[in-house]
Structure 1
Amino acid sequence: MGRLRLYGRVLRLGGVLALGLSLASGLKLQSLLGLGPSPAMRHRLCRWFLERLAAALPFETRLIGTRPAQPMLWLANHLSWTDIPLLGMLQPMAFLAKSEVRQWPLLGWLAAEAGTQFIRRGSGDNGALNRLLSAELQQGRSLLIFPEGTTSNGATLGTFHSRLLSCAIETGTPIQPVAIRYLRDGQVDPIAPFIGEDDLPSHLFRLLKADVAVVEIQLLPPIGSRDMARNQLCRTCHAAIAEALYGNPSVSAAA
């Protein structure tokens, strides 16, 4: 029964990825012909695909809170590559991801065609990064970033990189803090996190082979960014997410 379940999940996920490949190929061809969709339409198509990708993953999603009615800078803790489809299915939005994601087979190409902005860790070019992120927000589009800059096992909340919040302050964009956690049998899920030297095929195989886990997504009250000091805003966001996850606000949060 377990093997049949695994085969069924693999076939379903393969079908979704094939759909994404067809969609991305069509968008690429349109762009080459000068007929590509607007960024807003591209993000809506991306959300449509991510809804189907999230549905093909072995998770039961529990959404707590209200989706914002206006564009915001979404700020979430980060545990796995699966965070992106699970959050991206909620609203059309752009994404910021580490440059390594661009090299992933198929998923990296799909992410690029969906308009994901890639950041090279340690590049030090804060000005260019801020201009890139500000441009998205100035167009009235929501943007999702993971301010820890890497994934964790969910036991603790890492330091937030405050430089990523400059774009919200400069454009006056509110922050939508998000607390996401994966639970298995009521405890922190050890399978969902994608950490360390893990590779995508091995992680995906373990995930598809396991029982369904619960992913809890908390959309916390928005935080205004206008006229806020960068480190102060960073600490406020970190404290809100830490309290939602662990019941205790953070003390040292900004880098």
Structure 2
Amino acid sequence: MNPSWHSEDAPDPVEIGALGWLLVILRGVPLAAMLFVGLLVLVAIRLIEKPICGMHRPVTAFLPQFVGRNAFRILGIKLRTTGDLMRERGAVVANHTSWLDIFALNARKRVYFVSKDEVAQWPAIGWLARAAGTVFIERNPRKAREQTKLFEERLRAGHKLLFFPEGTSTDGLRVLPFKTTLFAAFFAPKLRSFMYVQPVTVVFHAPKGQPDRFYGWWGDMDFGPHLLKTLAAWPQGSVELIYHPAVPVAGFADRKELARFCEDQVRNGHYRAVEADQD
């Protein structure tokens, strides 16, 4: 079974002109350099930080945020945010459009992503994810207790964990039903009493003259062409982050009720943002 979402319409063809290839170089080289240097600095600092601070990351936690903010400056994509960041301990849940979500969500808030275990084995991306403190999980019910314990350790250390409950990326034009599996860990006895969850809506606004799903990355789309298309765009579009109020897990009866509430918040925020964009 392929967990990826597939559109009924084929992805738009990637067409890059002379200006586009120039922008690929002008944006791609500094972006790659920043990622490479950022990774080296993060690993070097973590070698000192880990023995002293353990799971806490008083210094390296700021590096992904720095990279996220400057990635959008390099790409020329505008980043807009509304709403207040949660101060309580807990998790953030958001809809998922593409790999750009990682830069966007890191740019505003220091978060640690929760990702499927296979990502840890991906070349380059896996190394970056590990260095940034990503929590890797297996889709195995027998691992549920072990993973809940890991979540508890990270949350008690003050880490804000970020989940994509849709379980896949989309074309950015919709919000898929939230899977409830990961929400179950929030109801563990040692977590439920202090745990909060903040829903976040991520909305990508396409460049002028481009299809609304321009930034979407889904199904069997290859990363390379999508990256080149994004680097080559002129003018660029924007991404909007809408932070909804954080809610206590203890205020919900079970994972299904909490997942449904978060889904409604994210979907309604997405609908309103898209409607406003069309006015």
Which band: TM-score by shorter chain? Answer: 0.7 to 0.9
Q: How does 1:101-250 map to 2 (within 5 A)?
A: 101-120=119-138, 122-124=139-141, 125-170=143-188, 171=191, 172-184=194-206, 185=208, 189-211=212-234, 212-228=236-252, 229-247=254-272
**For the residues of structure 2 that align with 1:152 and 1:160, how far apart are their CA atoms?**
13
Partner SS state of residue 108, structure 2: coil
Cα distance change on mapping 1:203 and 1:102 into 2, 3 Å: farther
Cα distance change on mapping 1:27 and 1:85 into 2, 3 Å: same
CA RMSD of aligned residues (A): 2.5
Alignment size in residue pairs? 245
Q: Which amino acid aligns with 2:225?
A: S
**For the residues of structure 1 that align with 2:175 and 2:73, how far apart are their CA atoms?**
27
Deviation at 1:117, TM superposition (A): 1.1
Runs of 4+ residues over 6 Å off in structure 1: none
Cα distance change on mapping 1:56 and 1:118 into 2, 3 Å: farther
Cα distance change on mapping 1:86 and 1:187 into 2, 3 Å: same
Output one character per residue of 1:135-191: Cα deviation in whole Å (capped at 9) or x when no partner: 211222211111111111123221212221233333231111100011113987323
Query: What is the identity percentage for the equivalent residue pairs of Structure 1 and Structure 2?
Result: 28
2:31 corresponds in structure 1 to: 13
The structure 1 residue matched to 2:104, chosen from 83, 86, 95, is 86
Partner SS state of residue 20, structure 1: helix
2:13 corresponds in structure 1 to: none
| Contact preservation (8 Å) 1:16, 1:56 | no
Cα distance change on mapping 1:206 and 1:115 into 2, 3 Å: same
Cα distance change on mapping 1:101 and 1:200 into 2, 3 Å: farther
Cα distance change on mapping 1:54 and 1:128 into 2, 3 Å: farther
Deviation at 1:235, TM superposition (A): 0.8
Structure 1's unaligned 5+ residue stretches are 248-255
Deviation at 1:115, TM superposition (A): 1.0
Q: Which amino acid aligns with 1:176?
A: Q
Structure 2's unaligned 5+ residue stretches are 1-18, 273-279
Larger relative contact order (CA 8 Å, sep ≥ 6)? 2
